[in-house]
C-alpha cells in the first residue's frame, strides 16, 4: 500500500467511506482477466469461457466465506446501489400478494430510501423508524412496527456517515420470529467488521467491492437459499444470468478483484480492525486536545473502527473541507449526496437540529494511513479552524 508521503503534492486521504484504493494484490490478480483470460463467463462452449467461469465461481467462494454464506447465494451486481434496489424491489414484486408493508430506518443510505419512496408512490406502506442521539434504531421499535402485511425489514449494518453499528443480530432474530425477510445494507461493514449471515439471521445483504479495497463497479447481493428460500423478481432482463436474478455479462476482472479483496479482508480484518481503532482513537484525542468545543457524532463505542464523525461549532463543514482539499481529503458526509446542498439527513435524524449537519465532518481512515498522517493533518486543521472561527 502506498504511503501518502511518497507521492508529491498528494493530499492525505481520509475519506475511505467514499471509496478505498485498490489493493495492489487485488490489481495483480485482476490484470490477466483483461488481456489473457478475457472470455465471457457465459460462453460455456470453449476454454476461454470456461476459464472465466471458473474464476467467477472461485470469487463467489471467497466472498461467501467472508460472510459465512454459500457460494450459490452470492449474486453479482454493479455495486451496492443495484444490490439494494434488487433486494427491495425484487422482494416487493415477489411477495406483494402477502402484503405491501416495508420497515426501514430514517438514517439509511438513499440506495434504500429511494426505492422505498418509489414503492410508496405505488401504494406501498413504508415505516421509517427513528434513531436515538447516537444513530441507533431500537429493536423493540422494529418489533412493534411489524404487521401482518410486513414482507421486509431493511436496516443498514453500519452507517456510512456516523459509523454507528446497528443491532443487526437482534433485528434478524425479530424478523425470523415473525416470518419477515430481513435485508441489511452492509456496504460499510463487510470487510471491516465480522458479518455472519447465519448467526445474524440475515436473508439479504448488499455489499460493494470498492469499500474494502476492491475495484469500483462490482458488488453483490447475498440471497438466502434455505430456511427460508428467498425469491426475487429480477429487475434487469435479458439472458437470465445469476440464477435469473440479474441479467448481463459478468464483469469478470471486477469479480476476480472483489474475490481477492474479500479473501484479504477475511485474513487481515482482525489485525486491521485493531490498528484502525487505535489510530481513530488517537485522531479523536488529538482533535480534542487541539480544537475547542468539538463533539462526537454517532455512538462512542458501537461504531466502525475506522470512522470518526465530529461536530465543530462555528466552522461550516463545506468551507472547511474546501480549505483543506489540497492537504487532506475529507468529506461532509455521503459521497452519493455531496452534490446536493442539503444538510445530511443522518446528522439531522440525531435530534440536535439541522445546524449541526452543516458543521460536521467525517474522517474515514484506511490501510494507507498512519500516525504521521494524523500529526500532519492536525496542524493544518488547527490552523484553518482558528482562521475560520476568527472570521465568523
Please give the Cα distance from 374 to 111 (Å, whole number). 32
Q: Is 135 exposed, middle or buried (0-12, 13-18, 19+ CB in 10 A)?
A: buried
Per DSSP, the three-state class of 82 is helix
**Residue 105 is among the residues annotated as catalytic for this protein:** no
Contact 334, 161 (CB under 8 A): yes
- Cell for 313? 461549532
CB 126 within 8 A of CB 120: yes
Exactly one of 37, 105, 116, 336 is catalytic; name it. 336
DSSP run (H or E) holding 168:
helix 168-177
Which run of H or of E encompasses 366? none
**Residue pointed to by grid coordinates 490552523:** 383
DSSP string, 91-119: HHHHHTTT--EEEEETTS-HHHHHHHHHH
Kindly state the cell numbers that stand for 241. Answer: 444470468
The contacts found for 24-29 with CB under 8 angstroms, 24 or more apart, are: 25/260, 25/264, 26/213, 26/214, 26/215, 26/257, 26/260, 26/261, 26/264, 27/257, 29/256, 29/257, 29/260
Task: Enumerate the active-site residues.
Answer: 336
Amino acid at each position: 500500500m502506498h504511503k501518502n508521503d511518497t507521492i508529491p503534492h498528494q493530499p492525505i486521504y481520509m475519506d475511505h467511506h467514499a471509496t478505498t484504493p485498490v489493493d495492489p494484490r487485488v490489481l495483480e490478480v485482476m490484470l490477466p482477466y483483461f488481456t489473457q483470460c478475457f472470455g465471457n463467463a457465459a460462453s460455456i462452449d470453449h476454454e476461454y469461457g470456461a476459464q472465466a467461469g471458473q474464476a467467477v465461481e472461485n470469487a463467489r467462494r471467497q466472498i461467501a466465506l467472508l460472510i459465512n454464506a454459500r457460494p450459490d447465494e452470492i449474486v453479482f451486481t454493479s455495486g451496492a446501489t443495484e444490490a439494494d434496489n434488487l433486494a427491495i424491489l425484487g422482494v416487493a414484486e415477489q411477495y406483494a400478494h402477502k402484503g405491501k408493508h416495508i420497515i426501514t430506518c430514517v438514517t439509511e443510505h438513499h440506495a434504500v430510501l429511494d426505492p422505498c419512496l418509489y414503492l410508496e408512490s405505488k401504494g406501498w406502506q413504508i415505516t421509517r423508524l427513528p434513531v436515538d442521539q447516537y444513530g441507533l434504531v431500537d429493536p423493540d421499535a422494529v418489533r412493534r412496527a411489524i404487521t401482518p402485511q410486513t414482507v421486509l425489514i431493511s436496516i443498514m449494518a453500519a452507517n456510512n456517515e456516523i459509523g454507528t453499528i446497528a443491532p443487526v443480530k437482534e433485528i434478524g432474530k425479530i424478523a425470523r420470529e415473525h416470518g419477515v425477510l430481513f435485508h441489511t445494507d452492509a456496504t460499510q461493514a463487510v470487510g471491516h467488521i465480522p458479518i455472519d449471515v447465519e448467526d445474524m439471521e440475515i436473508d439479504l445483504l448488499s455489499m460493494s467491492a470498492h469499500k474494502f479495497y476492491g475495484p469500483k463497479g462490482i458488488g453483490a447481493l447475498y440471497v438466502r437459499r434455505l430456511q427460508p428460500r428467498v425469491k426475487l423478481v429480477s429487475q434487469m432482463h435479458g439472458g437470465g444470468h445469476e440464477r435469473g436474478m440479474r441479467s448481463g455479462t459478468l464483469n469478470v476482472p471486477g469479480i476476480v478483484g472483489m474475490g481477492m479483496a474479500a479473501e484479504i479482508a477475511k485474513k487481515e480484518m482482525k489485525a486491521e480492525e485493531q490498528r484502525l481503532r487505535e489510530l481513530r482513537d488517537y485522531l479523536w484525542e488529538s482533535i480534542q486536545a487541539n480544537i475547542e468545543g468539538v463533539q462526537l457524532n454517532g455512538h462512542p463505542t458501537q461504531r466502525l473502527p475506522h470512522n470518526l464523525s465530529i461536530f465543530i461549532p462555528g466552522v461550516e463543514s463545506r468551507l472547511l473541507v474546501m480549505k483543506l482539499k489540497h492537504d487532506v481529503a475529507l468529506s461532509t458526509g455521503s459521497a452519493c449526496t455531496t452534490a446536493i446542498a442539503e444538510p445530511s439527513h443522518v446528522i439531522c435524524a440525531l435530534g440536535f437540529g439541522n445546524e449541526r449537519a452543516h458543521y460536521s465532518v467525517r474522517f474515514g481512515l484506511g490501510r494507507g494511513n498512519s500516525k504521521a498522517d494524523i500529526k500532519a493533518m492536525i496542524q493544518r486543521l488547527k490552523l484553518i479552524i482558528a482562521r475560520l472561527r476568527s472570521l465568523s
